[in-house]
A and B are shown apart, each in its own frame.
Chain A
């Protein structure tokens, strides 16, 4: 069940995951977002979000728990939002500090990218981070993302101004990195 990689399985959220998610969100290091959120999220908030998710065949997002294959430990969460069907989506990831530097995050990214390109037929996948989060930039670059846009000094965090970074990977770039997979989806010409 779920999406399987070398090190991880991306599976659905369960009730027993909620406290773990609270911990990730309230840790200012793992939160590592472009906008600092107050570390006061509660299990009740996450339960409400969990319970409000409706069944639908028309989905515009996906949210997964990252589970370590070998130990079944929860390592983080990865998601995609703002899905434009057959076109684009934005990705986000949070990994618990204990698993930093273990390859879990890269493997999770690769698993989700494969799903987005191979199953959802997207043309481009994007993510947003900021110039003060070099760990996130390097993580994304490991999967082939490149910095395409930099909104100058638009993030204020840790008392400093940073550039908001838009990173993306095109479908062709993904398949070039994975020659073992053939792309059967016809493309369009590049901008004339």
Chain B
């Protein structure tokens, strides 16, 4: 496996997706708790069960992405696939979009925060990115709280992004600017 980035606390590493990730992806992406927040390529359902063939196609899309990247979040201890991180700059490298998905069995361990900070560090320090944004479904309160805790600001919504359980649901837009991240970064590096 090729390791790309270590999380700043070294509990996870962000790696390129390899073929031996596929069986675990098939299990994790079909987890009921992830329905509606899988952050898959547009042509794949966010709600329905995914076949092995579909997972292989998703994996292929991720590994061949040109205007962005998808990375596997793997635990340092055990080397397990704990989640995935997506980044897209198809529109403009000035304002990429990111998504962090930590699979249910690995949540509440700090992996998401570590992964996101690692990617923000990469984007703000090594690319022209000035605004990094993401979308969170309005019913996904843990996801929204996670983004806000990582320094993102809520800045509006896309109304009626989808239907969920018989009612309309919006997607909330969150973003963080390089200046804001730099200040947060400096403050945290001055801390204990």
On chain A, the residues within 8 Å of B177 by CB distance are 152-153
Query: Is A148 engaged at the interface, CB distance under 8 Å to the other chain?
Result: yes
Which B136-161 residues sit within 8 Å CB-CB of chain A? 138-139, 153, 155-160
When the two chains form their complex, are residues B94 and A154 in contact, meaning their CB atoms are under 8 A apart? yes
When the two chains form their complex, are residues A126 and B168 in contact, meaning their CB atoms are under 8 A apart? no
Size of the A side of the interface (Cβ < 8 Å), in residues, is 26
With contacts A35-B91, A168-B159 taken as known, whether A153 is within 8 angstroms of B131 at the C-beta atoms is yes
Cα–Cα distance between A166 and B177 once the two chains are bound (Å) = 18
When the two chains form their complex, are residues A149 and B158 in contact, meaning their CB atoms are under 8 A apart? yes
On chain B, the residues within 8 Å of A150 by CB distance are 155-156, 173
Size of the B side of the interface (Cβ < 8 Å), in residues, is 25
User: For residue B169, which residue of chain A has the nearest CB?
Assistant: A191
When the two chains form their complex, are residues B167 and A149 in contact, meaning their CB atoms are under 8 A apart? no
Q: Give chain B nearest CB distance to A67 CB in angstroms.
A: 31
Quick one: CB contact mask for B69-94 with A, threshold 8 Å, 1 for yes? Answer: 00000000000000000000001101
On chain A, the residues within 8 Å of B114 by CB distance are none
User: For residue B91, which residue of chain A has the nearest CB?
Assistant: A35
Q: Give chain A nearest CB distance to B36 CB in angstroms.
A: 13
Q: Give chain A nearest CB distance to B63 CB in angstroms.
A: 25
On chain B, the residues within 8 Å of A123 by CB distance are 160, 168
Cα–Cα distance between A156 and B178 once the two chains are bound (Å) = 14
Q: Give chain A nearest CB distance to B153 CB in angstroms.
A: 7
Query: Is B166 engaged at the interface, CB distance under 8 Å to the other chain?
Result: yes
When the two chains form their complex, are residues A188 and B157 in contact, meaning their CB atoms are under 8 A apart? no
With contacts A188-B168, A191-B167 taken as known, whether A149 is within 8 angstroms of B157 at the C-beta atoms is yes
When the two chains form their complex, are residues A149 and B156 in contact, meaning their CB atoms are under 8 A apart? yes
User: For residue B163, which residue of chain A has the nearest CB?
Assistant: A188
Cα–Cα distance between A153 and B166 once the two chains are bound (Å) = 36
User: For residue A168, which residue of chain B has the nearest CB?
Assistant: B159
When the two chains form their complex, are residues A147 and B167 in contact, meaning their CB atoms are under 8 A apart? no
Apart from A151-B131, A152-B131, A191-B169, what 19 extra A-B contacts exist at CB < 8 Å?
Answer: A35-B91, A149-B173, A151-B133, A151-B155, A151-B175, A154-B92, A154-B94, A154-B130, A154-B131, A154-B133, A155-B95, A156-B92, A161-B130, A164-B95, A166-B158, A168-B158, A168-B160, A188-B166, A190-B168
A-B contact pairs, 11 of them (CB 8 A): A123-B160, A148-B157, A149-B155, A149-B158, A150-B173, A152-B175, A154-B95, A154-B130, A168-B160, A191-B138, A191-B167
Chain B positions near chain A (C-beta within 8 angstroms): 91-92, 94-95, 130-131, 133, 138-139, 153, 155-160, 163, 166-170, 173, 175, 177
Please list the 9 inter-chain residue pairs (A to B) with the smallest Cβ-Cβ separation, ordered nearest first: A149-B156, A154-B95, A154-B131, A124-B160, A149-B173, A189-B167, A192-B167, A191-B169, A150-B156
